[in-house]
Structure 1
Amino acid sequence: MSPATLQSLRPDLAIIQDWIQPDSQVLDLGCGEGVLLRYLSEHKNVRGYGLEINPDKITACIANGVNVIEQDLNDGLVNYKDSSIDTVVMTQAIQAVQRPDQLLEEMLRVGDEAIVTFPNFGFWRTRLYLALKGRMPMSETLPHAWYDTPNIHLCTMTDFEELCASKNIRILNKTVVDDNHQEHWAIRLWPALLGEVAIYHLTRRA
């Protein structure tokens, strides 16, 4: 299998990798097929570990040479010691767990830093869809119907930042992208309204 390149990464993962230090240790929650961890291992000498529950994605991780453990994120991270990881990553999964507030606490108990991405429910099309149709929106970012969606705790960027403030979590970096995971000038001007996916880099360190 050919080496992973920056160009081969999904654009949001390319942003995330830039926030991760070389020679560090990373835990990727809901790691999918292990694409990010493989890239970090090959290009930044990162020691990576993934947690995943989907059997097919676990098989893909193994094929990608990624260390992966089958584990439900709703069970927490009790098998990891305090401050045992440099960075804990969770992309597009926090809205799908039973207690995102508790898992966020766990991420920053285990890791010195955390990186979280989620769909921004304050996106203008979502607001308009609710206002005009009175129904839960469906889009490329939110492709499921209300009755079969894995997203049980959707939130806006303001909701998430208020949660961080209540838990004394400091935001190191924040980037907001469109449904293709791309940045552009309009999103930088009005991130809470025009951004579809929010990417946060967090810590509890002073």
Structure 2
Amino acid sequence: MLRPDLAIIADTVAAGSRVLDVGCGDGALMAALRDTKGVDARGLEIAADNVAAAVSRGLSVIQGDADTDLAAYPDASFDYAILSQTLQTARRPDVVFDHLLRIGRRAFVSFPNFAHWRVRASLLWGGRMPVTRLLPERWYDTPNIHHVTVDDFRAFVADRGIEVEGAWFLSGDRRTSSAAANFRAEHAVFLLRN
């Protein structure tokens, strides 16, 4: 069973598409797309153990770093470029984002919302960086180096003139409305087009 954000992406990707999954982890999304929609899926993953797990599933995954290796991909070489729960870990998320939209005709971006009410409450009442189900690491061992919110991301894409084709918001494992998503959503998924 796919993570809820990955399930949204899997449901939305068109059958027979060419997909690049950046930060693909163990390849769960790629395998689902291949097996259910006949998608030609490729992956880029930084962690060697995840690369090995994905390759053992028969997937085409290479080890690489989104911050440095996306520049090598040609323009518009994929129908979709996917960046799921990876944007906040990039050293230069703006550069990674630009490559994503250059490489793919459309791009999915999903991320944990650092403005969710539980995160705010943890800071307000406990005075400490939150540890939640979606943000399970402590401040000193987290891979998250850029804390993005739904409203930050909306402003970021608006400033760049990027078209938002779809947006989904999750609270727990369930979808929630876009109303007050910056406060209510734990996780966001956006489908974008240049």
TM superposition score normalised by structure 2: 0.95
Q: What's the CA shift string for 1:101-137, capped at 9, x where partnerless?
A: 1111100011100001101011011111111222211
**Corresponding residue of 2:130:** 137
Give runs of aligned pairs for residues 15-54 of structure 1, distance below 5 A: 15-54=8-47
Contact 1:35-1:64 within 8 A present in 2 as well: no
Indicate the residue corresponding to 2:174 in structure 1.
Answer: 182
Structure 2 unmatched ranges of 5 or more: none
Provide the aligned C-alpha RMSD in A: 1.2
Amino acid at match of 1:157: V
Letter in 1 for 2:174: Q
State the shift of 1:77 in Å: 0.8
Establish whether residue 73 from structure 1 lines up as the match of residue 63 from structure 2. Answer: no
Give, in whole Å, the separation in 2 of the partners of 1:47 and 1:201: 19
Which of 49, 54, 65 is the matching residue for 1:61? Answer: 54
Identity in percent: 39
Count of aligned pairs: 194
Structure 1 CA distance for aligned equivalents of residues 151 and 184 of structure 2: 13
Deviations 1:77-120 (A, max 9, x none): 12210111110001111000101111111000111000011010
Q: Which residue of 180, 185, 193 maps to 2:183?
A: 193
Secondary structure of 1:147's aligned partner: coil
Aligned AA for 1:114?
A: A
What secondary structure, in the 3-state scheme, does the structure 2 residue paired with 1:146 have?
coil
1:151 paired to 2:144: yes
Corresponding residue of 2:107: 114
Query: Using the alignment, how far apart are the partners of 1:188 and 1:110 within structure 2?
Result: 28
- The whole-number CA distance in structure 1 between the counterparts of 2:82 and 2:178 is 23
- Report the Cα distance in structure 2 between the residues aligned to 1:9 and 1:158, rounded to whole angstroms: 26
* Alignment of 1:202 onto 2:192: yes
Per-residue deviation, 1:42:
1.4
* TM-score, normalising length: structure 1: 0.90
The Cα offsets for residues 20-58 of structure 1, whole Å up to 9 and x where unpaired, read as: 111110000011111111111111111010001111111
- The whole-number CA distance in structure 1 between the counterparts of 2:160 and 2:123 is 30
Deviating beyond 4 angstroms after TM superposition, the runs of 4 or more aligned structure 1 residues are none
Residues 12 and 182 in structure 1, CA contact (< 8 A), matched pair in contact too? no
In structure 2, distance between residues paired with 1:115 and 1:74: 17
Contact 1:108 1:203 (C-alpha < 8 Å) held by counterparts: yes
What stretches of structure 1 of length at least 5 have no aligned partner?
1-7
